């Protein structure tokens, strides 16, 4: 090989490598900025880690949340960036959720991301008596469907009463689980709790698996949720990865794909 051509070829290889590295860096930068804006402003993907929203959301469901549904706050930012920003109750283009919405929010006590159903709005009085939900001293109507037996993600078997429940002012009912109408936990009962008067700028959240949900009723739950802590409204279950075993006498949900909430 000619002594003069060897350095030239080496320089060309190095130049090509530099060009490719720069192109990849530019691509990743554009991708990350685009992803950041998309998941901050429009939509984000979450998954269900527990059974507190059964039977409407199962463990392992991957669902899409619309970030713009209630406006934007610091909690709209992805990757937990809200923790490093100063506290603020401001919300850009803020809108009040509708009763019955399934909403994602950040627990104000421990910064965990949670999902529950919006039950109480500012000024409402929420109470449970004998397993029945009362909103502003009016009992919410429910209709018994059947009994369901299922194995939870901890391996325990539960028997639940399945009801449809319809909130006042909503167009369609939703389904809930109740273990009993007089279920008790350590030091309190989810079936006899309250009354809770919802503060201005807050909402009251409850899980659809009423006796197995650490929600706004629970002494160690998230309490009333400030509107700034809302992340968005759950819209659609894209798919689920977790699958239960088919066991005689136990419910095993079918695979879920692109199901509206």
Closest CA to 67 of 19, 107, 103, 100: 103
Closest CA to 64 of 43, 34, 38, 39: 43
- Kindly tell me the burial class for residue 164, based on how many C-beta atoms sit within 10 Å of its own C-beta (0-12, 13-18, 19 or more): middle
How far is it, in rounded angstroms, from Cα 189 to Cα 258?
Answer: 35
**C-alpha 8: how far from its chain's center?**
59
Give phi and psi for 51, each to the nearest 5: -100, 20
SS3 141: strand
∠ CA 252-257-261 to the nearest 5 degrees?
A: 90
C-alpha distance from residue 29 to each of 19, 22, 46, 130 (Å): 15, 10, 23, 56
DSSP 186-217: TTB-TTSEEEEEPPTTEEEEE-SBTTS--STT
Catalytically annotated residues: 52, 116
């Amino acid at each position: 090989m000619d002594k003069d051509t060897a350095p030239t070829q080496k320089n060309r290889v190095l130049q090509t490598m530099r060009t490719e590295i720069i192109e990849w860096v530019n691509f990743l930068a554009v991708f990350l900025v685009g992803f950041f804006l998309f998941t901050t402003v429009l939509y984000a993907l979450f998954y269900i880690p527990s059974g507190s929203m059964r039977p409407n959301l199962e463990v392992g469901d991957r669902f899409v949340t619309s970030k713009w549904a209630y406006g934007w706050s610091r909690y709209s930012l992805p990757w937990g960036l809200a923790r490093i920003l100063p506290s603020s109750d401001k919300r850009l283009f803020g809108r009040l959720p509708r009763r019955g919405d399934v909403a994602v929010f950040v627990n104000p006590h421990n910064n965990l991301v949670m999902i529950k159903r919006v039950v109480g709005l500012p000024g409402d009085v929420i109470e449970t008596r004998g397993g029945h939900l009362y909103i502003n001293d009016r009992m919410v109507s429910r209709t018994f469907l059947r009994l369901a037996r299922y194995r939870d993600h901890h391996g325990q078997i539960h028997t639940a009463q399945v009801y449809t429940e319809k909130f006042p002012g909503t167009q369609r009912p939703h389904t809930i689980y109740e273990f009993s109408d007089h279920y008790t936990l350590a030091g309190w009962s989810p079936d006899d709790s309250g009354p809770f008067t919802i503060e201005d700028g807050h909402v009251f959240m409850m899980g659809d698996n009423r006796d197995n949900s650490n929600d706004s009723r629970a002494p160690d739950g998230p309490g009333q949720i400030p509107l700034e802590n809302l992340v968005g409204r759950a819209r659609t279950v894209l798919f689920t990865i977790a699958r239960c075993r088919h066991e005689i006498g136990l419910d095993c949900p079918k695979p879920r794909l692109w199901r509206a909430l």
